[in-house]
Chains A and B, each alone.
Chain A
Amino acid sequence: MNEVAGEILAILRRYLSEPTSRSLLTSAARRANVRLEVLVRSEIPQLVQQLGPGLNIFLQEPEKLQNCKSLLALVAVENAPSIPMESQPQQAESRPDGISVPIRAEHDVVRARTLGKDMAKQLGFSEVVQTKVATAVSELARNIFQYAGTGEIRIRRIEGKKRGIEVVARDQGPGISDPALILSGAYRSKWGMGAGLRGTKRLVDEFELDTHPGLGTTVRIRKYAE
Chain B
Amino acid sequence: MVMMMETQRIPIVRLSGKLIVSIQTALSDTVVDRLQQDVAAACEKGDARGLVVDVSGVDVLDSYITRSLRDLAVMARLMGVETVVCGLRPAVAMTLVEMGMELPGVRTALNLDRALALLDSLQPEGLPHDLAGEGDEWEGEA
Contacts and interface: CB of A to CB of B under 8 A. Distances in A.
A130 B91 contact: yes
B62 A106 contact: no
B4 interface: yes
Interface residues of A, number: 32
- Determine the main DSSP class of A at the interface with B: helix
Contact of B29 (A63, A106, A117, A196): A106
Given A65-B1, A106-B29, A199-B100, A132 B95 contact: yes
B28 A106 contact: yes
B67 interface: yes
A195 B95 contact: no
A193 B60 CA distance: 18
B99 A202 contact: yes
Interface stretch (A35-43, A107-115, A151-159): A107-115
Contact of A128 (B29, B63, B95): B95
A128 B91 contact: yes
A193 to B, nearest CB: 6
Contacts of B64: 142, 192, 196
Contacts of B2: 60-62
A65 B4 CA distance: 13
A135 B62 contact: yes
B132 to A, nearest CB: 20
Q: Give the one of B61, B94, B95, B100 with max A CB within 10 A.
A: B95
Given A65-B1, A199-B99, A203-B98, A131 B62 contact: no
B67 A193 contact: yes
Contact of B101 (A60, A109, A199): A199
Given A62-B4, A128-B94, A128-B95, A110 B27 contact: yes
Interface in A177-226: 192-193, 195-196, 198-200, 202-203
A61 B60 contact: no
A56 interface: yes
A76 to B, nearest CB: 22
Interface of B: 1-4, 26-30, 59-64, 67, 89-92, 94-95, 98-101
14 contacts: A56-B1, A61-B4, A62-B2, A62-B4, A63-B26, A117-B60, A131-B59, A134-B59, A135-B62, A142-B62, A192-B63, A196-B62, A202-B98, A203-B95
Given A106-B28, A132-B95, 6 more contacts: A128-B91, A131-B92, A139-B62, A193-B63, A199-B99, A203-B98
Interface of A: 56, 60-63, 65, 106-107, 109-110, 113-114, 117, 127-128, 130-132, 134-135, 138-139, 142, 192-193, 195-196, 198-200, 202-203
